[in-house]
A and B are shown apart, each in its own frame.
Chain A
Amino acid sequence: MMNFPILSLIIFLPLLGSFFVFFSRSKNDIGAIYISILTTFVNLLLCIFLWWSFENNFQGFQFVEEKNWISGYIKFKLGIDGISILFIVLTALIAPICVISCINSVKVRLKEFLIAILVLETFMIGVFCSLDLVIFYLFFEAGLIPMFLIIGIWGGPRRVYSAYKFFLFTLLGSVLMLVAIISIYTLTGTTDLLQIYEIKIPKEYQNILWLAFFSSFAVKMPMWPVHTWLPDAHVEAPTAGSVILAAILLKMAGYGFLRFSVGMFPFGSEFFTPLVYSLSVIAIIYTSLVALMQNDMKKLIAYSSVAHMGYVTLGIFTFTKQGIEGSMFQMISHGIISAALFLCVGVLYDRMHSREIKSYGGVVNYLPKFSLIFIIFTLASLGLPGTSGFIGEFLVLVGAFTKNYLVALLATIGVVLGAAYMLWLAKKVIFGQITNDKVKKLSDVNKSELVLLSILAIITITLGFYPNLILDTVDISVNNLIYNYENEIAQKISNLE
């Protein structure tokens, strides 16, 4: 194992970059742009290197770093396993895409926008690396601030309302999580995650603590019925904000469920499984139906995100190999697909300044390249085999079916509805007659847009045909997770006897 603190490096490199951006002085923020692109790109390479040097067959956490922070109490402890490495790579991939996409679309305070994105990247990677509850909490909450600013400053007309809604919803859940972390400390005397795994939290406390963590993750996920902040936040956020929100911020909750809820509270997780199943199924069907009726492209995709996240929560709480791996896959895949869909909407919005589905139609006549890409992601989003969207959904459903066939049956209905709203969107925007003369003046995607979207499209299709790229990486970690969970539950049953 390397001694070089590579995790700290990839966490703080963007922060360092943001300092340089802050002090850069050049015309039209050219310097700031170059620094941001360079930082995020180098970070991406580092993360790919990290993934490459990651041992798939290693049990436990790798690249562990430990430093005293508040001596005797809290340690700054980092480490990754098969689950976190993928999120780190995803974050590092999305960051440069956001930076490049905002160059053209953000007209005011570009430099500050770039700083916000870089700082956000630091926090997001930090979340996925931390092995200490307090450190995790700090990164988790700190991420709110740049996102709040991104929506509140660079957002649309109702940005303040949306930003506050976003902030209050997520903060409310997180406060309970903070209380839970403090009580875990009083129970176990540590906030080190690995030690907590060893000590094990007493059974009688698990349900209440699980609920406290759940309240935070459920909002972030978002699960029904605390999902209403998401459509508003997406609609008002600028393109890059939507991309980060959909691709990474939502995944922090899924990651939290896997690492903390299931890992620390096996009994609590088992006890509340019916709750999670019900909420997931409601989310899948309810939001799919709502998505069918949307007039705003971003809202439609936002609602579809809630439905897709429903599969994630469903899969995690099946505690089966297929279910959890499917959830992991679904998160990564949704990160890429939703990012691409929001970028696509951004492409149209930059040209037409409208997100209304009605103002488009017949786009394919004037933007053939764009239309191809849009259709690819539409199909990926509705889970067509051969794209990454299919693998995640299908594995989750396979896993769910072995635990509760009724839930799986209902969740599968979402697949039909998903096809309905996505194809309807494609029909109204891409195909059909040209009803709006402005469409005729649109120009096709430019080079940078084309490159970004093509990369995402290639990743989506590659993962669809060769999903083992991800499945191999998470294999051991998911096995351990399930093994620990089942071990605990089995002990409980033997104690009862």
Chain B
Amino acid sequence: MECQECHERKATLHFKHIINGQETKVSLCEVCAKKKGYLTYPEEGFSLNDLLSGLFQKDGIPLNAAGTANSNQPKQPQELKCSSCGRTFSEFKKAGKFGCANCYASFDSKVEPILRRVHAGNTKHTGRIPKRAGKYIQQKQLISSHKEELKQLIEDEEFEKAAVLRDKIRELEKANHQDKEAGDNT
């Protein structure tokens, strides 16, 4: 069906007027519908951000953490605010973007449900670790995987192998502890 206004584009929007019980139908394309004032949504349309902030609103977290529960006491509403960039949680919800690395810690408890929703229930990173600054973390993960192996060896009663692995873990832990202290001092 072509647009009744420009007769060029395809009509994608159909409007029904009921005035004094009289029904009339109009079929328009998006451009003409906008021109005639049928569409009132913002210029840029519906963006990913709108979708995202929609998701966040669904958490049922009121914009002001204090809410209206205690209207008798005119207390200053305590809204979550990032201490390093000053972004408030409602600003984050509106924009769908964090303002700095610290925002994650500032909004911590509220971020996790969001991440879960966006990433199919996942909340833990299992991928790459920065090569230079992440050495400590890499070591730590190596140690914990060794510890899992150790448990298995003990269960299997492979005590000799377990003893070797235990010593290795001790060594790694010692080295990593020193690394961490060195890292903390810089």
A, B assembled together: no
Contacts from A to B (Cβ < 8 Å): none
